[in-house]
Amino acid sequence: MDRRDFIRNSAMGAATVAAARLSLGKEGLAQAAPTEGDGLTWSKAPCRFCGTGCHVQVGVKGGKVVSIQGDAKAEVNKGLLCVKGYHVGLALYGKDRLTKPLLRKNGKLEPISWDEAIEIIAKRAMKNPAGFAIYGSGQWTIPEGYAANKIIKAGLATNQIDPNARLCMASAVTGFLSTYGVDEPAGCYDDLDRADVVILWGNNPAEMHPVLFSRIVDRRSKGENVVVIDLGTRKTRSSGFCQHVFTMKPHGDLAIALGIMHLLVESGTYDKEFVEKYCNFRQRTDPPTLDGKAMTFEEFKASLKEYTPEKVQQLSGVAAKDIRLLAGLFGKKDLRITSLWCMGMNQHTRGTAINDLVHGVHLLSGHFGKPGDAPTSLTGQPSACGTVREVGTLAHGLPGGLVVAKDEHRKEAEAIWNLPAGRINAKPGYHTVDMWKRFSTPKSKGGDIDTIWVQVTNPAQSLPNVNALVEPSRKDPDKFLIVSDVYPTRTAMIADLVLPSAMWVEKNGMVGNSERRTQQWFKMVPPPGDARDDCWQLIAVAHKLLELGHPGMKDKDGKWLFHTEKDGKEVPIWDWKHYYDVNVDERLFEEYRKFSRFKHKDLAPYQEYVKARGMRWPVVQQKDGTWRETKFRFSKFDDPYVTKGDVQFYHSVTKDDRALIWFHPYEAPPEVPDADYPFWLCTGRVIEHWHTGSITMRIPQLHGAMPQAYVELHRDDAKALGVQNGEIVVLESRRGSVELPAWIDGRGQPPPGSVFVPFFDETILVNKVTLEAHDPLSKQPDYKKCAVRVKKKPPKVAAVGKG
Amino acid sequence: MDRTVHVGIAVALFTTAAGFFGGIRGTAADTASISTHARPVASTVASARSYADARARRYGPNAGMYDGVFEKMAEDHADLNAPVNQTDEDRAATLAKRASRRAFDGAPPTIPHRIGQQGPLDCVACHGTGLKIGALVAPKMSHQQFSSCTQCHATKDDPRPGAPAVAKPDNEFAGLKAWGRGSRAWDGAPPTIPHPTAMRGDCTSCHGWFGGQGLKTPHPWRQSCTQCHVPDAMNDQHPAAGLSAVSLESGQNLGPGGALP
């Protein structure tokens, strides 16, 4: 019996049980009163929030979501959720859902029809395609991102598309590309069940990836021993579960990784066999590139020489003995060590470097390629991997890990999309910070982006230095901002055109989580009012462009880019009434799937994902016709694409099946506290809220537990400033300031001279204060460190009287 | 016998003796007469003459904190065979209180008291075995295998001391209510379990000693609940229940505004 039969039989079994119940009910269950469970159906969906990718069971009754359970069949979360996940059903029902398209007329947003809205967008793109950009998201579903990417890359042929994921995991991507030649982790969450040691590199999973964190620490309840080590710039909820908490200075991670490598090499405890078989050494060039230039082991060793434990202590603030402790752990071959990281290493002006170095520590010590022994990066959004990294919704990317700059990649894409040769533009579009800078610069001064269509994200709150990147565009009549969203976010409220979107289980969807797992769900409830799917919005605009005569909307045979047939007849999917006549998600996914073979990121047919709680790519068809997922990439025991050796990096940059161990020197952050701005500022999240809080702040239970942003102050600093708990302080950088209440010994504990502010609160816009300096390769900004001053807000002075 | 037992006996003997001699020295009334304080609590404010006295004669604002506590705790561990008297009104009141702490039946309850914000918490001190002192109940947790409590349970109120009040958001979610009673095949048959059992591995959390009035089992001496009470496979993610069966067919046409059939 294959899986499909099993499921069909189970469904039949359930029907039989139900029928039996009904027949019994006639006699035996005469007194059974109607219960709350009557009419309730349960269906699977991945959670809407973070990149962990938990599955939930959604309870639907009367066309509304009424209940959520953790999905017991899901391997990721095994029936457990976090406080956001349990409340994800409430995401749909905030009272101020957007339900009508709105156009700004004389400064006021006023309702218009969908037809008008779609036409306005298409005409902006028609008038100046080169200045028309789409700013997307790691919360886009895979089909949404794919449709947007196709419109921009195959249709307008401008490459002006970039996602908010640029702000959250671009450095992880460049780290994987420069080390392995191909993106995304080799390991998976199963590593967390096997690791003896877990190192948190600037990571607070107890709040940010709670289900994965309890997957680690709950092993202790079963009597297992797992050592968790916290390397962070402040103490967090995770720290309390750790055997070792090493508080480092900002950028201390670079020094620590170099210090570990130095000791491994000096003491000879590095894994000689692994390094000789599977690794090359690399150093960077000026200007830096992903390929760098070769160096010998001897040169590598010499470069590390200065990073003695004592020097590293000086640079990082972590004691020399603790550096030795870490190096000692990596020097032990029988231990299994997993490194976890997320924003701490990615939102870093040396993000690519620190990602390379942590991969390098694992490769150098041979802690790679066995379950529990892996460098594993985590993502913050539900489809940062699925939609952004795999569909390639980046200014330089194409689906399946291809890039616009390479001739052969463009040719492959043109073949799949059936485009005339040369349609795809070889020049990458603008990355996020650049795109918004140009949008906020007048046309006369080189601001060549005049329209941005934002979907599923909230840049007016989440971009760094919003005063410079967003605000100026709102005063420039040439600039037109379109926002598709579900709530009146900060970005929606300053937009020129607002489109109401369907969200989560109000539409079909697919996403991909941090461990290469692709997930699928079906629409379960109708969206409110006139809200419509983001994917439909994109397709409707593409069809309007076709009607307006844009030549790029046709393939080389003159067919529309999104031409869809059923039973030999065209289905007008651009017409909302007919959008669900076919499963558009399935059609787009089947087309997109063709791209997944180039980089061995093989995806199975859509229907396989319908049956599963997600599958990890490469998903390869077996001789018996079944589809098998891959847990551990590059390792012979699990990865079907390994053809020689125990480990094979088959996308190696150096084309010799070897990964690269990089040397990057320690470098200080671009802005360091001084006499005028004496504090470090770090920004981040709390467990209750997700991203800009546009959803979670509308959920009473989450809002109740954390209704407002705050600044965490160390007790000594608070004393010196004369600030008490709850008192309002002014936090100011060279770019802007915010006023917010102080919290001493609060959720986290920054060391003296350092403060922390969560960014979820749109009323306290900490991104007026942050710095837009970014990594030279990944272009990802650093939200984790800049210099600020903090002072107690002076009491309101009464109007001066006559005395 | 090992050393700890000897030490234990010695401590017990000493305590008994000290308590006896301490006790005969005088009563609270005696000492009150020599107190110079005129405040109402003065009857208990007195310098203890021995450490044994100190235990009995607390002073300060929390002097009465433990008055009768241990007796009350003992009361709640009454005879297993004592009849359980509870009414439909009790049940309704308990369910209403339960509902006030949850977004829907099955959601993790919010925490109605202050908690520490950092690190692993000492939730198990009270919620490990459950605790009841008078009307105050710390329910026993029904999923002891989990250790990161704040992963699922958030505080009901703003945890920041001195923070300014912020208006609550308006949300129209109407969550599943408590499921009502289980069904009985005939009068006197054991009722089925009318709610999912996920995260509710320990029935005594709600139906045991510290359970809400109206939900308590009338036979607390029985240990194996599912011997007689069966859960509903459909609501309990049972593999045979065909969960997600509604989602299995591809290309369902829900219609642009349609819901599932």
Which of the residues A57, A139, A381, A519 is marked catalytic?
A381
Token pair for residue B29?
Answer: 């009334």
A381 is a catalytic site residue: yes
Question: Is B28 a member of any domain?
Answer: no
In a domain, B146, yes or no: yes
DSSP state of B226: G
Give the dihedral sign, CA A381/A382/A388/A390. positive
Report residue B247's pLDDT band, with 50, 70 and 90 as the boundaries.
very low
pLDDT at A625 over 90: yes
Q: Is residue B122 part of a domain?
A: yes
Q: Which residue has the tokens 């489109």?
A: A499
Assign A543 to helix, strand or coil.
helix
pLDDT band at A452 (very low <50, low <70, confident <90, very high): very high
**Residue B81: inside a domain:** yes
Which one, of A685, A667, A785, A776, lies nearest residue A733 by Cα? A785
List beta partners, residue A518: A512, A615
Scanning the structure block, which residue is given the tokens 């699977």? A44
A31 tagged catalytic? no
Q: How confident is the model at residue B179 (pLDDT cuts 50, 70, 90)?
A: confident
Is A213 in the B-facing interface, judged by CB distances under 8 Å? yes
For residue A621 the two structure tokens come to 């068809």
Categorize the per-residue pLDDT at A266 as very low, low, confident or very high, splitting at 50, 70 and 90: very high
Among the partner-chain residues B150, B240, B251, the one whose CB lies closest to the CB of A10 is B240
- Non-local (6+) Cβ contacts of A302 within 8 A are none
State both tokens at B131. Answer: 């605790």
What does the pLDDT average to over A711-737? 96
In a domain, B91, yes or no: yes
Closest approach of A225 to chain B, Cα-based (Å)? 14
**B 82-111 near A (Cβ less than 8 A):** 103-108, 110
If you average pLDDT over residues A611-631, what whole number do you get? 96
Q: What is the per-residue pLDDT across A171-207, written as a single tens digit (0 to 9) for each?
A: 999 999 999 999 999 999 999 999 999 999 999 999 9
**Cα A294 from chain centre:** 32
- Please tell me which of the candidates B107, B177, B250 has its beta carbon nearest to residue A607: B250
Distance (Å) of CA A347 to CA A341, A535, A771:
11, 29, 11
pLDDT at residue A347 above 60?
A: yes
Query: Which pLDDT band holds residue A636 (cuts at 50, 70, 90)?
Result: very high
What was the pLDDT predicted at B3? Answer: 54
Q: Between residues A502 and B161, which one has the greater pLDDT?
A: A502
Distance CA A101, CA A531 (A): 8
Specify the 3-state DSSP secondary structure of A692.
coil
Q: List, as ranges, residues 204-243 from B with C-beta within 8 Å of A.
A: 232-235, 237, 239-243
Q: Are A752 and A230 in contact (CB under 8 A)?
A: no
In a domain, B31, yes or no: no
pLDDT tens per residue, range B74-132: 666 667 777 888 999 999 999 999 999 999 998 999 999 989 888 777 898 889 888 88
**Beta strand extents in B76-197 (DSSP E only):** 131-133, 136-138
Q: Which amino acid type is present at position B189?
A: A
State the burial class of residue B59 (Cβ atoms within 10 Å of its Cβ: 0-12, 13-18, 19+): middle
Residue-wise pLDDT tens digits, A229-254: 999 999 999 999 999 999 999 999 99
Residue B39's pLDDT band (cuts 50, 70, 90): very low
CA angle A533, A539, A542 (to 5 degrees): 150
Contact predicate A178/A352, CB 8 Å: yes
Q: Which residues contact A138 (CB under 8 A, 6 or more apart)?
A: A51, A163, A164, A165, A168, A169, A379, A380, A381, A382, A383, A384, A387, A388
Averaged pLDDT, A636-664: 96
pLDDT digits (tens, 9 = 90+) for A150-167: 999 999 999 999 999 999
Q: Which residues does A180 contact at the CB level (< 8 Å), separation at least 6?
A: A186, A359, A634, A649, A651, A652, A653, A659, A660
Task: Based on the residue annotation, tell me whether A345 is a catalytic residue of this protein.
Answer: no
Residues of chain A above pLDDT 70, percent? 95
Q: What is the mean pLDDT of residues A777-789?
A: 95
Out of A339-348, A367-376, B84-93, B124-133, least confident range: B124-133
Mean pLDDT along residues A374-397 = 95
Question: What type of residue sits at position A717?
Answer: D
Report the alpha-carbon distance of residue B244 to residue A406 in Å, rounded.
Answer: 43
| Beta-carbon separation of A41 and B246 below 8 A | yes
pTM of the model: 0.87
Cα angle, residue B26 at apex, residues B22 and B28 outer, rounded to 5°: 105
> Is pLDDT at B29 greater than 60 in this prediction?
no
Do the bridges between strand A728-732 and strand A737-744 make them parallel or antiparallel, or are there none, so unpaired? antiparallel
Residue A538, both tokens: 């994109």
Token couple for A305 = 């020489």
Contacts with A, B 120-179, CB within 8 Å: 120, 144-148, 150-164, 166, 168-179
How many Cα atoms within 13 Å fall on the side-chain side of residue A459? 33
Instruction: Assess whether pLDDT exceeds 60 at residue A22.
Output: no
- Whether A63 shows a pLDDT value over 80: the answer reads yes
Q: So what's the pLDDT on residue B180? A: 82
Residue-number span of the structural domain to which B123 is assigned:
72-151
Across the beta sheet with A279-283, the strand order is A293-295, A279-283, A659-663
CB contact under 8 A, A42 and B235: yes
CA torsion through residues A233, A234, A235, A239, sign: negative
Judge whether residue A693 has pLDDT over 90. yes
User: Which pair of tokens denotes residue A502?
Assistant: 């369907």
Amino acid residing at A145: G
d(CA B17, CA B11) in angstroms, rounded, equals 10
Taking an 8 Å cut-off on Cβ atoms, the answer to whether B152 and A610 are in contact is: no
Are A141 and A462 contacting, i.e. CB atoms less than 8 angstroms apart? no
Q: Is A168 a catalytic residue?
A: yes
Please give the full DSSP string across A477-527, using - where no structure is assigned: TT-EEEEEESS--HHHHT-SEEEEB--GGGS-EEEE-TTSEEEEE---SPP
Residue of A44, A47, A84, A509 with catalytic role: A84
Number of structural domains found in chain B:
1
Q: What is the pLDDT of residue A36?
A: 73
Residue B92: in which H helix or E strand, if any? Answer: helix B88-99
Sign of the torsion angle spanned by Cα atoms A193, A194, A196, A198: negative
pLDDT at A570 over 50: yes
Hey, which of A427-441, B110-124, B183-197 has the most confident mean pLDDT?
A427-441
- Of A290-304, A350-364, B51-65, B173-187, least confident by mean pLDDT is B51-65
CA distance B184 to B154: 36
| Tokens read off for A63 | 């066309």
The complex's ipTM? 0.83
Is the pLDDT confidence value at A552 over 90? yes
Which of A24, A65, A521, A580 should one mutate to test binding to chain B, selecting the residue with the greatest count of B CBs within 10 A?
Answer: A580
Q: B16 at the A interface (CB within 8 A)? A: no
**A177 phi and psi, to 5 degrees?**
-65, -45
Q: What is the mean pLDDT of chain A?
A: 93
* Residue A308 pLDDT greater than 60, yes or no: yes
Interchain proximity B118–A581, CB inside 8 Å: no
Angle formed by the axes of helices A309-316 and A252-267, to 10°?
170
pLDDT band at A3 (very low <50, low <70, confident <90, very high): very low
Per the domain annotation, does B89 fall within a domain? yes
Which residues partner with A684 through β-bridges?
A: A758
Active site residue A223: no
Q: Which two tokens stand for residue B91?
A: 């049940």
Query: Would you say residue B22 has pLDDT above 50?
Result: no
Using CA atoms, how far apart are residues A543 and A412, in angstroms rounded to an integer? Answer: 24
Search chain A and give the residue with CA nearest B168: A700
Contact A41 B260 (CB under 8 A): yes
Size of interface A-B (CB pairs under 8 A): 307
Q: Which residue has the tokens 């070769």?
A: A294
Query: What does the pLDDT average to over A655-681?
Result: 97
How many CB atoms lie under 10 A from the CB of residue A257?
Answer: 29
Query: Do the chains contact at A68 and B151, CB–CB below 8 Å?
Result: no
In the prediction, which pLDDT does B235 show? 72
Closest-CA residue of B relative to A742 is B163
- Which residue's structure tokens are 């959390």? B205
> Is pLDDT of A618 > 60?
yes
Let me know: does A52 contact A79? Beta carbons within 8 Å. Answer: no
Once rounded to an integer, what is the mean pLDDT over residues A136-145? 97
| Measured distance CA(A108)–CA(A631) in Å, rounded | 52
Identify the burial level of A108 via C-beta atoms within 10 angstroms of its C-beta, where 0-12 means exposed, 13-18 middle and 19 or more buried: exposed
Helix and strand numbers, DSSP H then E, in chain A: 25, 33
Q: Is the pLDDT of residue A14 over 50?
A: no
Asked if the model's pLDDT at residue B243 lies above 80, the reply is: no
Alpha carbon of B171: minimum distance to chain A alpha carbons (Å): 4
Asked if the structure places residue B104 within a domain, the reply is yes
